[in-house]
């Protein structure tokens, strides 16, 4: 009897819960489900014979409370967030949220086709699929495409992610209506419930690991720079958190191309500059990169946030793989063609161009013309920019914001907060280190009063005249600049009143 027939006849005979692990005893082959958390399980199955050792080290999970029920047609397993049904005939897996909303559903039983195991899953109307590693496409959605990949991490806007560990290649086919096909060396995958991409990445942390290098051996060209940009953003959406880039490959490029490559490279965590220097902007981002490296380590999130990752409820974001968020605070739209112009899609919210200080409402595409790197700060963000004299804290009201600064030499965090509070705006620094800070509050009228309680800060006539506990108002830009020297352990509060 051929392997296809064996797989089609496989039937669940019994099951045995053993803590987080549920052994599934079949008449053909073997299977198990191990719960890593109430949101994540690891499912493995063979079509014939015993299960091999896991292809990746199994996490050591905390105990997960599960309710396991035996019904005539299926075994049903409930966690705090998920309701999973494993059909006894064929072991098809069907996952719903605990409120009944569908997430993932197998449509066909796995069969062996040459070197791959093949099965189909449901792709409901309106659900988009992202991920699966580097791509040269300007679109994120995989509908209508067939992808062969070595990065088998997939995100569905239904609210789940799936990751297939082990050696590939893997093939995902989204060309059929209402379903997608998985071709893998074996049935072995992690299911992660979010429902948002940020939560899916947190559940998945430690999965695919370091991304492939972006620069491939070739002469530097504009087309190559575009490929590097798109590849890095798609890798970030595939949970590859540390893309690497060899800027030295652009050493012999024309000046314009080299300048744009420097701008691009200065935003990547892992860069080999070679003989090409990074831009001064990179030097201002050291504190920013430090805190997002902690986020990458602890939460499994890349510092580059693809737009659908950051704004999952805005479907327009799926059409813009050539721009991204740097962390939660800044939208970056590198220019990767000769010239100074490009369109930029602004997601929901209000956005400030850091070069011009001009503010734009979101959910629109604007035209940008500049020789610099287009960077937009989100309303309700604090953007820290390092300098030799201290740290500039750029706050974009009127939503509240906070940022944590890692003090590497102390293993502690300085916290900065800003928000409107009743009839004042409150700026606060809980400093773990003696340091000069310079608040830059954008888009505000000139205040009548700057200080805290009985201590009033003095207004000065120029930025050059700023000293501790003084402020300057830039009437042309409508920006307020306050300089303050904060001692270690001090909680410095400044109230702005109009």
Summarised one tens digit per residue, pLDDT across range 404-425 is 999 998 899 999 999 998 889 9
DSSP 114: T
Residue 422, sorted as left (phi over 0), alpha (psi -120 to 50) or beta, turns out to be left
CB 55 within 8 A of CB 165: yes
Query: Whose CA is closest to 128, among 305, 301, 302, 308?
Result: 308
Per-residue pLDDT for 206 more than 80?
Answer: no
Percent of the chain predicted with pLDDT > 90:
84
Rounded distance between C-alpha atoms, residue 351 and residue 310, angstroms: 15
- In CATH terms, is domain 222-372 a member of 2.60.40.1180? yes
CATH number of 381-497: 2.60.40.1180
The angle, 0 to 180 degrees and rounded to 10, between the axes of the packed helices 255-265 and 222-237 is 10
- pLDDT of the residue at 2: 42
Q: What is the dihedral of CA 361, 367, 371, 376, to 10 degrees?
A: 20
- pLDDT of the residue at 8: 52
CB 414 within 8 A of CB 431: yes
CB 137 within 8 A of CB 321: yes
For 223-242, the pLDDT digits (tens) are 999 999 999 999 999 988 87
H or E, element range at 256:
helix 255-265
Query: Whose CA is closest to 280, among 297, 292, 262?
Result: 262
Within the chain, which residue ranges are assigned CATH 2.60.40.1760?
3-204
For 322-347, the pLDDT digits (tens) are 999 999 999 999 999 999 999 999 99
The listed range with the strongest mean pLDDT (7-11, 125-129, 450-454) is 125-129
Average pLDDT of span 265-273: 90
Within the chain, which residue ranges are assigned CATH 2.60.40.1180?
222-372, 381-497
Per-residue pLDDT for 320 more than 70?
Answer: yes
Average pLDDT of span 279-307: 94
Cα first-last separation, the chain: 84
Of 49-53, 101-105, 151-155, 234-238, the poorest mean pLDDT is in 49-53
CA distances from 452 to 402, 427, 495 (A): 19, 10, 6
- Enter the tokens of residue 48: 């014939």
- pLDDT of the residue at 234: 95
Which strands, in side-by-side order, build the sheet including 458-459?
A: 381-387, 390-396, 435-441, 479-486, 470-474, 458-459
- Enter the tokens of residue 372: 């610099």
Per-residue pLDDT for 84 more than 70?
Answer: yes
Confidence of residue 205 (pLDDT cuts 50, 70, 90): confident
- pLDDT of the residue at 495: 97
Average pLDDT of span 81-92: 96
- pLDDT of the residue at 218: 66
**156: phi then psi, degrees, rounded to nearest 5:** -110, 135
Q: Which residue has the higher pLDDT, 147 or 57?
A: 147
pLDDT, averaged across the chain: 92
What angle (nearest 5°) sits at the alpha carbon of residue 121, between those of residues 116 and 122? 160
- pLDDT of the residue at 212: 57
Residues in the chain: 498
Rounded distance between C-alpha atoms, residue 277 and residue 259, angstroms: 10
- pLDDT of the residue at 422: 81
CB 426 within 8 A of CB 493: yes
Confidence of residue 5 (pLDDT cuts 50, 70, 90): very low
- Enter the tokens of residue 367: 């035209």
Provide the whole-model pTM. Answer: 0.92
Instruction: Identify the architecture of domain 3-204 in CATH.
Output: Sandwich (2.60)
For 353-376, the pLDDT digits (tens) are 999 999 999 999 999 999 999 999
């Amino acid at each position: 009897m051929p392997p296809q027939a064996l797989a089609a006849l496989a039937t669940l005979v019994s099951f045995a819960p053993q803590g987080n692990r549920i052994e599934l005893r079949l008449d053909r082959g073997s299977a198990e489900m191990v719960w890593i958390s109430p949101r994540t399980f690891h499912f493995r199955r063979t079509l014939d014979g015993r299960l091999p050792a896991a292809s990746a080290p199994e996490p050591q999970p905390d105990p997960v409370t599960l309710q396991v029920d035996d019904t005539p047609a299926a075994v049903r397993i409930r966690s705090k967030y998920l309701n999973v049904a494993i059909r006894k005939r064929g072991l098809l897996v069907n996952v719903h949220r605990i409120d009944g909303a569908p997430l993932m559903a197998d449509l066909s039983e796995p069969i062996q086709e040459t070197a791959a195991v093949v099965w189909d899953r449901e792709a409901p109307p309106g659900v988009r699929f992202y991920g699966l590693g580097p791509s040269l496409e300007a679109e994120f959605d995989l509908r209508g495409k067939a992808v062969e990949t070595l990065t088998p991490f997939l995100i569905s806007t239904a609210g789940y992610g799936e990751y297939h560990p082990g050696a590939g290649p893997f093939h995902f086919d989204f060309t059929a209506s209402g379903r997608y096909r998985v071709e893998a060396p074996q049935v072995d995958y992690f299911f992660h419930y979010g429902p948002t991409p940020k939560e899916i990445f947190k559940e998945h942390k430690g999965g695919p690991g370091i991304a492939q290098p972006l620069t491939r051996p070739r002469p530097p060209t504009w087309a190559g720079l575009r490929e590097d940009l798109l590849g890095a953003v798609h890798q970030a959406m595939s949970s590859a958190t540390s893309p690497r880039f060899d800027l030295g490959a652009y050493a012999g490029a024309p000046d314009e191309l080299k300048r744009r490559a420097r701008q691009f490279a200065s935003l990547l965590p892992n860069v080999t500059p070679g003989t090409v220097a990074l831009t001064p902007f990179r030097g201002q981002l050291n504190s920013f990169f430090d805190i997002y490296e902690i986020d990458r380590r602890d939460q499994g999130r890349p510092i580059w946030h693809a737009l659908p990752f950051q704004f999952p409820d805005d479907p327009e974001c799926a059409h813009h793989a050539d721009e991204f968020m740097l962390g939660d605070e800044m939208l970056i739209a590198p220019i990767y063609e000769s010239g100074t112009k490009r369109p930029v899609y602004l997601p929901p919210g209000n956005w400030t161009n850091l070069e011009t200080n001009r503010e734009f409402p979101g959910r629109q595409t604007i035209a940008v013309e500049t020789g610099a790197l287009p960077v937009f700060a989100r309303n309700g963000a604090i953007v820290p920019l390092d300098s030799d004299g201290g740290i500039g804290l750029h706050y974009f009201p009127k939503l509240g914001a906070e940022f944590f600064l890692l003090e590497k030499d102390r293993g502690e965090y300085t916290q900065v907060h800003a928000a409107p509070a009743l009839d004042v705006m409150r700026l606060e620094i809980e400093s773990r280190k003696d340091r000069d800070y310079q608040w830059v509050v954008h888009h505000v009228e000139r205040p009548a009063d700057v200080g805290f309680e009985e201590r009033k800060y003095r207004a000065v006539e120029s930025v050059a005249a700023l000293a501790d506990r003084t402020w300057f108002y830039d009437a042309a830009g409508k920006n307020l600049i306050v300089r303050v020297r904060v001692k270690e352990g001090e909680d410095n509060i400044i109230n702005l009143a109009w």
